Structure 1
Amino acid sequence: MWNAISNFGDAAVTLPLAVGCAIWIAASDRRVAAYWLVCLSVGMAIVGATKILYAGCGIEIREIGFRVVSGHTMLSSAVWTTCIALFLRRSGRSSVGITLGLASGAIIGAARVFEEAHTVSEVIAGWAVGSTVALFFLRSLDKSHVQLRGTVVAAVSLLLVSGIAYGHNAPFQSLIDRYSPTICRRIL
């Protein structure tokens, strides 16, 4: 059961959703769409940096059981929160979307703990980074006063994308495991 929940946070699901959201936003304002991708990239860079430092350099904080920021939790908190909030924005219920998205990120994070893929501290860090990405972007979107078009088409498209992508796994962890030692040797 936990694996089925955890799969909703895999990059194979969340990254196509994030790109779909960017395309949807770009139909109304390309700068805002680019800003969404930049915000998400910053969150992904934080996750990637911790994974490289642990896998390649062995850096961890043993006292709190922290090795890496949970990528599943960060991506699910950022992408699902943004996606659901965008769906409900036109009806004036984006705060409900934010709440549902943040809750889904927390549930996916809990699944990662129950699967023993991450510790509580790693999931909390992932949820904090992902939530910050989503809230920061959504706040800037509200300030921009951009009105998104095609909500129904976008919703159907993104549901199809997530349905097709669900159950697949992105190969990022194997790439990190393979190349991190070389990166750390060059940095240190």
Structure 2
Amino acid sequence: MLLWKALTALGGVTVTGPLGVAVAVWLLAGRSWRLSLNWMLLFCGGMALVVITKLLWYGWGIGIQAWHFSGLSGHAMRATAVYPVVFFLAFRNARPGYRTLGLAAGVLLAFLISYSRLPVRAHSVSEVVLGGAVGYAVAAAFILGVRGERPAIVTDLLLALCIPLVIIMPLTKPAPAERWIKQIAMYLTGKDPIERAWKQRPDGEPASQADVEPDQQPDAQPEVRQAPVQVRGPI
């Protein structure tokens, strides 16, 4: 379990968010304005999809009941979007074989981070799979757009920006992103957020707080609604 918690920390918004910004800064420093803009549009677009799908569930109970889907996994989306791109750019000037290995390492790390959301009971399989699919699509779209264009700056700058973030940020307190989304849903609907019924254990007892990611553990949440069958249709 410690391994999965360590991996899941690498997908937190306090890690992947700054990594996404670091990629944009590196591209700007290399005078690759178009690539930097493309990256930010793709990455921010992916994060917007995560927020929208979660708002639809917490506010109105809109999801896919048969799949236990109540919103894209933000960890999975961000990890699969950021890490393949970081590794791809870090090995951009290496030999073709090393470039392939570097990209494969980023893809594999992103997969493990996404999968870690299942053992810690933060998401259902569908939420992880769909979140990861969106993130990989973001990474693929960016990488395909990079072909033929090389930023005019050494790879060392990217590593200098990213390595401290990966080492230090997982040790900091996670941002309460899930709680913020719930508060937005409450503001929009004027009602308590709908919780995810799949997180009930087989014996009917709710999952313990230890099974939930730190940024999903509320400080003092209002009583929440549960909607095991209140799904209005697919997203």
TM-score, structure 2 as length reference: 0.74
Q: What root-mean-square deviation, in Å, do the aligned CA atoms of Structure 1 and Structure 2 show?
A: 1.5
Q: Using the TM superposition, give the Cα deviation of residue 184 of structure 1 relative to its aligned residue in structure 2, in angstroms.
A: 4.4
1:18-65: CA deviation from partner (whole Å, max 9, x where unpaired): 111111111121221111111101100111111111111111211111
Which structure has the higher relative contact order (CA within 8 Å, separation 6+)? 1
User: Which structure shows the higher helix fraction?
Assistant: 1
Q: Distance in 2 between matches of 1:135 and 1:43?
A: 13
Q: Distance in 2 between matches of 1:83 and 1:148?
A: 16
Matched, 1:85 2:88: yes
Q: Distance in 1 between matches of 2:171 and 2:152?
A: 30
2:11 is matched with which residue? Answer: 9
Q: Counterpart of 1:112 in 2: which secondary structure?
A: coil
Q: Distance in 2 between matches of 1:160 and 1:58?
A: 39
Question: Which of 31, 35, 52 lines up with 1:32 in the alignment?
Answer: 35
For residue 116 of structure 2, what is the amino acid of its counterpart?
A
Task: Extract unaligned runs of 5+ from structure 2.
Answer: 191-235
> Aligned residue pairs: how many?
184
| Higher Rg of the two aligned structures | 2
Identity of aligned residues (%): 30
2:25 is matched with which residue? Answer: 23
Retained in 2: the 8 A contact 1:9–1:73?
A: yes
TM-score, structure 1 as length reference: 0.92
Question: Which of 63, 70, 76 lines up with 2:73 in the alignment?
Answer: 70
Question: Which of 183, 187, 191 lines up with 1:182 in the alignment?
Answer: 187
Change (3 A) 1:27 1:50: same
1:109-153: CA deviation from partner (whole Å, max 9, x where unpaired): 21101111001111100110000000100110114x133412123
Question: Which of 48, 53, 56 lines up with 1:53 in the alignment?
Answer: 56
Task: Extract unaligned runs of 5+ from structure 1.
Answer: none
Retained in 1: the 8 A contact 2:15–2:170?
A: yes
1:128 is matched with which residue? Answer: 133
1:146 is matched with which residue? Answer: 150
